[in-house]
Amino acid sequence: MPKEALSLFFEMVATGIKPNSVTMMCIISACAKLKDVALSWSSGVVDQEFAADVAIANWHFIPHLQNRTVPEQPKFVFPILCFSPTLSMSDFLEKCGGCAVLDGGFATELERHGADLNDLLWSAKCLVSSPHLVRRVHLDYLDAGANIIITASYQATIQGFEAKGFSKEEAKALLRKSVEIAIEAREIYYDKCTKGSWDFVDTGKPSRHPVLVAASVGSYGAYLADVTLETLKDFHRERVQILANSGADLIAFETTPNKLEAKAYAELLEEEAIDIPAWFTFASKDVINVVSGDSIFECASIANACKQVVAVGINCTPPSYIQGLISSIRKVTSKPIVIYPNSGETYDGQSKQWIVSVLLYEYTVLVALLFQP
């Protein structure tokens, strides 16, 4: 299968087809084995010192790409990276083979299926207008081998729903609905696995892979900006309570822009005695700082000190910054590190198009060549 998958990739590139996030994930999965090897996104060179801390979490699922309908144009998201599993995450990661694969871009998939997301609620709009599409995107990623699916609640806030004319009770119900849809998708996936699956483990025997549902919490910056610690806690408090009691397996605090919001999350988890685990991921502007200018070292230290946090990482960040950021995070925590960068594409204002970086292709080729058995 690795050689076939690699041949498929080269054929796609040669014919001008842009591989999508799930297809890229599947191709890398088919070519990769869990090894103590890491890739340097910035240079395309294997860094052996960096390799000591890293496991590539993209080997678990081997699909038959030619026989499967997968999302066509989601934003490219690299697979999750997990390091030195700890306590509450260890059993899950062990069942995944040592590391886990995260789903990919969500909003772009919804748009591909016909959703109009030109709205302040963004992808959360589909919780109201087309929940069947939300479920479908979750299922697409589960079928492609994702171990963790993230709910469509990133932009779903009580304040945001109320601004669109919903009552507070309706807003709360929609937050719960985001998790219910993801759980329903997981159950549908599991049911399909009992009837036949292309999901494989090392032995080559079919087996359903473990799946967690992560309830997404977007930053205050996804709604407004410039606030105090108490304002941040008040803004997030009720949403976090609802999501924590909705049946999700963990809470994903995503695209955190600064250490103040990280501190608000940590204090909120403690004050509300949230009893499900969480991860904090930060958006960064270079290899050492998050988008606000705060150092990733300081931000990761706050996450590390919070007992409810079981993983720390980076999202919505160019792939070329990832190695440096991981190195900084590793200096302050031994918790698993979760990585889901953005596509690495740049926007061309004249053509009004996103330009794909050749780095995406180079990454796949490098992985394939390194890990062919």
Q: What is the pLDDT of residue 109?
A: 87
Q: What is the pLDDT of residue 195?
A: 67
Domain CATH number, residue 274: 3.20.20.330
The more confident residue out of 341 and 11 is: 341
The more confident residue out of 7 and 275 is: 275
The more confident residue out of 50 and 362 is: 362
Residue 311 has pLDDT above 70, yes or no: yes
Mean pLDDT of 356-371: 47
99 falls in which pLDDT band (50, 70, 90)? confident
Instruction: Decide if 361 is inside a domain.
Output: no
Residue 135 has pLDDT above 70, yes or no: yes
Q: What is the pLDDT of residue 51?
A: 32
What is the average pLDDT value for the chain, to the nearest integer? Answer: 74
Rounded-to-integer distance, Cα 32 and Cα 343, Å: 20
Q: What is the pLDDT of residue 240?
A: 98
* DSSP characters over 227-293: --HHHHHHHHHHHHHHHHTTT-SEEEEEEE-SHHHHHHHHHHHHHTT--S-EEEEE-BSSSSBBTTS
| Window from 164-178, 213-227, 272-286 with minimum mean pLDDT | 213-227
Q: What is the pLDDT of residues 2-21, one digit of tens each?
A: 445 545 555 554 555 555 55
Instruction: Decide if 26 is inside a domain.
Output: no
86 falls in which pLDDT band (50, 70, 90)? very low
Residue 59 has pLDDT above 70, yes or no: no
Q: What is the pLDDT of residue 252?
A: 96
Rounded-to-integer distance, Cα 263 and Cα 229, Å: 8
Residue for token digits 């807003």? Answer: 171
Q: What is the pLDDT of residue 78?
A: 33
Instruction: Decide if 113 is inside a domain.
Output: yes
284 neighbors 251 (Cβ within 8 angstroms): no
Residue 137 has pLDDT above 50, yes or no: yes
Instruction: Decide if 20 is inside a domain.
Output: no
Mean pLDDT of 286-307: 96
Q: What is the pLDDT of residue 27?
A: 52
What percentage of the chain reaches a pLDDT higher than 70? Answer: 64
Instruction: Decide if 341 is inside a domain.
Output: yes
Rounded-to-integer distance, Cα 129 and Cα 125, Å: 6
Instruction: Decide if 55 is inside a domain.
Output: no
The more confident residue out of 337 and 281 is: 281
The more confident residue out of 89 and 328 is: 328
Mean pLDDT of 77-100: 57
The total domain count for the chain is: 1
Instruction: Decide if 173 is inside a domain.
Output: yes
Instruction: Decide if 39 is inside a domain.
Output: no
Residue for token digits 């993801």? Answer: 182
Mean pLDDT of 25-31: 49
Q: 336 lies in which domain range?
A: 77-349
Mean pLDDT of 280-293: 95
